[in-house]
Structure 1
């Protein structure tokens, strides 16, 4: 019989601790600051806003420059028009964007998150609205603790009014890329908007309002997968925002102008400004953390304090782990070269694919109701549904022909077919063949369309001609 291992309870009485699985969120109130990286972000945000809100209003050849017309199944991007069969290009483009993000992450960490991510950009806008309506950080903290009164109600109403206004404009612009925006905006404010369009405007309004106004950093922590898998792409040569402990420790307050060595301290004056300006509420001095979005707010705040103390800048800076440990950073490394090479190849293939797209596409489907039938005179007849898509910006006339056997005949009054600009034409086509020339019960044939004004604008579609077994 085996002996039991003796177990002794060594927990001191009265010191048992319990932990909640779901911690209450601590509201983050950020302080305003100035600095180089803030100015870079403002310029970048201005350009992104101009691109996002301005592009929807551009005209190109009498229509909206960028319009994803889902009912018509046409996607207009300036002079190019794409059809549903070109949808693979979107998947191609998304893969390129993913590899571009991987490349940037290996080289410069979460620069995307800190400067161009929509969640970050709109969160900064909403934080600005808080500052304008409720005051600076200390004033907002004090306002949160106050009971509801006329002053608090007025400030909160003004803040949420700005939030909702920004959210509505954002939603209208987004939906305006799928519904002509010059019709959408007046229809919305005259209450003539249709139900589904109204639903999507409401949906994206609420998504913007909730994500940028209420959830904020919670989206980055718990909803965005990028913050979780970024560590797989990081190495010790990746550019990160980091605190230099060799220079900063020991921390401690001191008077302006006092040399740190004279009082046995490092350069960090323990002012907590880096924490107060952080939109995710972390202390960068605790080391690299997945919550850090590399917005460099702490860099600007710390540099400002260093200037006031007459200390050199760079206590918190963009650096690498190798630099922090006194080693040399390798900018060019195998992982970076691999992502760069893959990205360059895919961009090249994408450009070649887009530039080689024809201005006309052809879709041919056999009539599924009857495999074949006998026409007058004894010929074998097949019926096809032919769709011609004209992707050009002007009306075009195309010649329709069939290839596969010289005796194949199309029963059309005129094989010259005119298709409007960015339009399509669908028609049934009867094809006949004398049974004496039938090579098999399933004979390959090709339909071809060619533009009359430009023979190089041509394409074909493969199909089959069915007939009886005459052997």
Structure 2
């Protein structure tokens, strides 16, 4: 079987098509410059995913989203709920990056970095190692069930399930310290929610990357539906050069040799209709039919076609990254106002994010006035206000702190106004301010200043000092 069968099984109810069952896609393995780039991306991205939870910086997991403690630890930095505006900024950067790369070169995200693409590549690699190449897999699926088929199918799914379970375990390890999680798994003490998410993510990985594969890209992913809004006639897309390739058709070795010899007149284009571009496509499309919503821009068809062109002695590029304008005979214009606008906005947002991370306050201070009484009279008529100063040490080292009131009012601190906090510690420090009799009237703004033991000011928090309006 040289090509991919495109027969469609259509169920008909009352004269209308209910659904169309697509045939299974058997992508052929191909080597080439784009495929090597994709494999490098797979190793890089999966390497980060599986390695990051096991790396520690200063005794803290490199990436840990500690939801119960409401802290995110990322590359040695700790983000608190007060820093979540940075997360919003990061999501905006990610979305704008998607727009930028799509306007520049189409669905690069889908072809090289999408989790569906990355994990499907691993599942396909496992399948090829166990069931064989494309033709062997097709023969195996058509063969009746026997010992060989049962053994290969069982081995494939066992390998898939093991890899999926490891993926689910690693995913949960970004939210629960992975060494603690591993100890719980080994001792069969895994909590209910942790077990649920390990199994759920494992099942999702096995189902999406192993069973559904291209169906996720065709029918479930919304990106393919709105990508056209970011395309224009100067966007780099994978295209078949119709003018050069048509009319397509098979030809004999003698015809190929005559082409090599420079014969001026010929009736066929450069496409020899070998269908190699179809056989390597992970979504089973024919790129020669034009740009399609199912194309994930993986460039496997480019590598396959270039390999064929090398073998028959024709120039590469029958299928290539190009623009609609270039195919129409116009000049290629990759750098254009839209691309510059996206790039400029990205630079501004990235700079703002970097500044936000660098300028984060190492300490959180919040002053809460005593709810039981606005003020109280003591001794010979002096007025006292009580506060609870909530302090959170966001740094990765212990700090010694002292508090004082920054105000022109004649206020003094009663009792101790100092405390030492460990890294990440949250503490509520009681604070009392006193005004001498008759020195303060009514409601007055006060600023509580928190300083380090070396005199550096770390935080300020506003409060109010209340006193009687009249003696």
TM above 0.5: yes
Q: Kindly tell me: are residues 26 and 426 of structure 1, through their superposed partners in 2, closer, same or farther at Cα, counting changes over 3 Å?
A: farther
C-alpha spacing 1:164/1:410, structure 2 compared with 1 (3 Å): farther
Q: Measured at CA, do residues 267 and 80 of structure 1 come closer, stay the same or move farther in structure 2, by a change above 3 Å?
A: same
Match of 1:11 in 2: none
Please, what is the CA RMSD of the aligned residues? 2.2
Aligned match of 1:304 in 292, 304, 307?
307
1:238 aligned to 2:235?
yes
Equivalent-residue separation in structure 2 for 1:364 and 1:207 (angstroms): 46
What is the match of residue 62 of structure 1? 59
Equivalence for 2:354 = 351
Match of 1:4 in 2: none
Cα distance in 1 for residues equivalent to 2:52 and 2:102:
28
Instruction: Pick from 186, 189, 196 the counterpart of residue 189 of structure 1.
Output: 186
Matches within 5 A, 1:274-289: 274-289=277-292
Match of 1:464 in 2: 464
Deviation at 1:437, TM superposition (A): 3.9
For the residues of structure 2 that align with 1:210 and 1:49, how far apart are their CA atoms? 18
Where in structure 2 are there 5+ consecutive unaligned residues?
1-12
Partner of 2:378: 376
Structure 1 residue 169, shift from structure 2 partner: 1.6
CA distance in 1, matches of 2:26, 2:347: 42
Tell me, what secondary structure is at the counterpart of 1:45? helix
1:7 alignment partner in structure 2: none
Aligned partners of 2:172 and 2:198 also within 8 Å: yes
Residue matched to 1:440: 442
Does the C-alpha gap of structure 1 residues 207 and 385 become closer, same or farther in structure 2, counting only changes over 3 Å? farther
Partner of 1:134: 131
Q: Is the Cα contact below 8 Å between 2:409 and 2:440 reproduced in 1?
A: no
Which of 139, 149, 165 is residue 146 of structure 2 equivalent to?
Answer: 149
**Local SS of the residue matching 2:446:** strand
Residues 441 and 468 in structure 2, CA contact (< 8 A), matched pair in contact too: no
Which deviates more, 275-284 or 60-69? 60-69
- 1:204, 1:185 → 2: CA distance? 16
User: Structure 1 residues 451 and 142, CA, compared in 2 at 3 Å: closer, same or farther?
Assistant: same
Which residue matches 2:5? Answer: none
Aligned residue number for residue 28 of structure 1: 25
Aligned with residue 366 of structure 1, among 359, 364, 369: 369
How many Å separate the matches in 2 of 1:38 and 1:205? 27
Q: Would the aligned equivalents of 1:80 and 1:391 in 2 still touch at CA under 8 Å?
A: no
The within-5 A match list for 1:417-456 is 417-434=419-436, 436-441=438-443, 443-453=444-454, 455-456=455-456
Distance 1:149 1:371 in 2: 84
Q: Distance in 2 between the 1:43 and 1:114 partners?
A: 13
Q: Superposed, which structure 2 residues align to 1:47-446 within 5 Å?
A: 47-256=44-253, 257-259=256-258, 263-367=266-370, 369-377=371-379, 378-412=381-415, 414-434=416-436, 436-441=438-443, 443-446=444-447
Distance 1:198 1:405 in 2: 58
Q: Distance in 1 between matches of 2:353 and 2:457?
A: 20
User: Is the CA contact (8 Å cut-off) linking 2:164 and 2:202 kept in structure 1?
Assistant: yes
In 1, the alpha carbon distance for the partners of 2:18 and 2:470 equals 77
When normalised by structure 2's length, the TM-score is 0.90
**C-alpha distance 418-284 of structure 1, shift in aligned 2 (>3 A):** same
Shift of 1:384: 3.0
Q: TM-score, normalised by structure 1?
A: 0.90
1:189 deviates by 2.6
Q: What SS is found at the alignment partner of 1:32?
A: coil
- 1:457–1:300 distance in 2 versus 1, CA, 3 Å: farther
**CA distance in 2: counterparts of 1:379 and 1:29, whole angstroms:** 86
Partner secondary structure for residue 347 of structure 1:
helix
CA deviation vs aligned residue, 1:164-188 (integer Å, no higher than 9, x gap)? 1221222222221221112212321
CA distance in 2, matches of 1:300, 1:28: 18
Distance 1:203 1:31 in 2: 30
Aligned residue for 2:110, secondary structure, equals helix
Show structure 1 runs of 5+ residues with no match.
1-15
Deviation sequence 1:356-411 (CA, Å, 0-9, x none): 112212122334x4351424334444443322111222211011122334333444
Between Structure 1 and Structure 2, how many residues are aligned? 452
Paired with 2:180 and 2:368, the residues of 1 have a C-alpha distance of 36
Q: Evaluate the alpha carbon distance shift between residue 229 and residue 419 of structure 1 in structure 2; reply closer, same or farther with a 3 A threshold.
A: same
Deviation for aligned residue 1:22: 3.0
- Conserved in 2, the CA contact under 8 Å of 1:360 and 1:457? no
Please give the per-residue CA displacement for 1:60-116, whole angstroms capped at 9, x wherever unaligned. 112222222222222222332221111111111110111111111111111111011
